[in-house]
Structure 1
């Protein structure tokens, strides 16, 4: 009889500790930010280039963000990275006009945050003509990704 009572009490105790099925709904869930980088099809050095990002959260354009920054550098010169604050063009859309001083392979990293949601996507940008070393770098990068992909088969 004691065992039945003990098992019943343990069952009631554990049952009281379990989460309700809707417990997760009771807490505000931060939706992840999504960034779409919009660039012209071709970019020429020494000409202003519009660079825009569209920030969405839960499928809607983000009205207000805590911060948005564009970090940019040439592929072989990360030490010379620049950080620029874009203008708010319209709700959820931020942009700058950037003039790249010379041809080459560049990276743009977007830093965006709203509440606890932080995102830092990075894109490669080709400005004008690539040098031989930049082409080799890109081809090496592609080969390494293919080799990694081949190991998974």
Structure 2
């Protein structure tokens, strides 16, 4: 009887040890959050009216090129005419890049946002293109920017790429994460605040983010479905004071 009992105890200890190791492995897997996706818009800085150009989006996750995105949609609008933006779905990736062909009817400054949903995350960087003779509009935009950011000594563009769940639902707490960079270099130890409001509503909510793993993140609950405006305010101790506007669709 003592010998049999000893065998049962040994089996029990081995099983418990195996279960502990399995739980530890699972716990380790859960604690390792996936790397965010990064989207680089590939297009010319200038074009002529009626000229057809290619606009591409190169998607990566860490060192891996992403070619299995759920959706890559380009949103294009002329300066000051966001409400009349055009949305175009990208074709299947060619040479590891999602792309569309686009022409612009008239001169002006145009904005291009690549809305990319892939691997449970969403990113939506924006770039500009100058079409035809748009010097006056461009000069005015630069003057306005100087008026808004008087004393700002950073001449290079600051970006805030949104990394969030592919679908944001009303009434559910969601973590909004932003990758903040200047000329592609991450900005660390900055104060980043989110100004959030729904289109058509004057009520603004301010949310402070926390920096972790090179990202600035905050939790927020969108009460209603629809489009929300999010202005990312970025400040540091070297006279940087920038803001980047984003649009978030809530189901």
- Contact 1:56/1:92 (CA < 8 Å) preserved in 2? no
Q: Which residue of 1 aligns with 2:117?
A: 113
Judging changes above 3 Å, is the alpha-carbon distance between structure 1 residues 146 and 94 closer, same or farther for their aligned structure 2 residues? farther
User: Cα offset for 1:142?
Assistant: 4.3
**Which ranges of structure 1 fall in alignment gaps of 5 or more residues?**
1-19
Q: Which residue of 2 aligns with 1:10?
A: none
The aligned length equals 134
Judging changes above 3 Å, is the alpha-carbon distance between structure 1 residues 127 and 53 closer, same or farther for their aligned structure 2 residues? same
Q: Which residue of 1 aligns with 2:87?
A: 83
User: Cα offset for 1:132?
Assistant: 2.2
1:118-141 alpha-carbon deviations (Å, 9 max, x no partner): 101111111111152442122321
Query: Secondary structure, in 3 states, of the residue corresponding to 2:48?
Result: coil
Q: Which residue of 1 aligns with 2:69?
A: 65
User: Cα offset for 1:26?
Assistant: 1.8
Q: Which residue of 2 aligns with 1:26?
A: 29
Judging changes above 3 Å, is the alpha-carbon distance between structure 1 residues 21 and 129 closer, same or farther for their aligned structure 2 residues? farther
- Contact 1:69/1:85 (CA < 8 Å) preserved in 2? yes
Q: Which runs of 4+ in 1 moved over 3 A?
A: 20-25, 142-146, 148-153
Larger gyration radius, structure 1 or structure 2: 1
Judging changes above 3 Å, is the alpha-carbon distance between structure 1 residues 89 and 66 closer, same or farther for their aligned structure 2 residues? closer
- Contact 2:65/2:96 (CA < 8 Å) preserved in 1? yes
Judging changes above 3 Å, is the alpha-carbon distance between structure 1 residues 21 and 142 closer, same or farther for their aligned structure 2 residues? farther
User: Cα offset for 1:37?
Assistant: 1.0
Q: Which residue of 2 aligns with 1:35?
A: 39
1:17-72 alpha-carbon deviations (Å, 9 max, x no partner): xxx99876321522211111111253111010111111111121102011110000
User: Where is the helix percentage greater, Structure 1 or Structure 2?
Assistant: 1
**Alignment partner for residue 127 of structure 1, among 124, 127, 131?**
131
Judging changes above 3 Å, is the alpha-carbon distance between structure 1 residues 140 and 65 closer, same or farther for their aligned structure 2 residues? same
Q: Which moved more, 1:37-46 or 1:47-56?
A: 37-46
Distance 2:150 2:115 in 1: 29
Q: Which residue of 1 aligns with 2:10?
A: none
**Which ranges of structure 2 fall in alignment gaps of 5 or more residues?**
1-22, 155-234, 240-251
Q: Which residue of 2 aligns with 1:93?
A: 97
**Alignment partner for residue 104 of structure 1, among 94, 108, 126?**
108
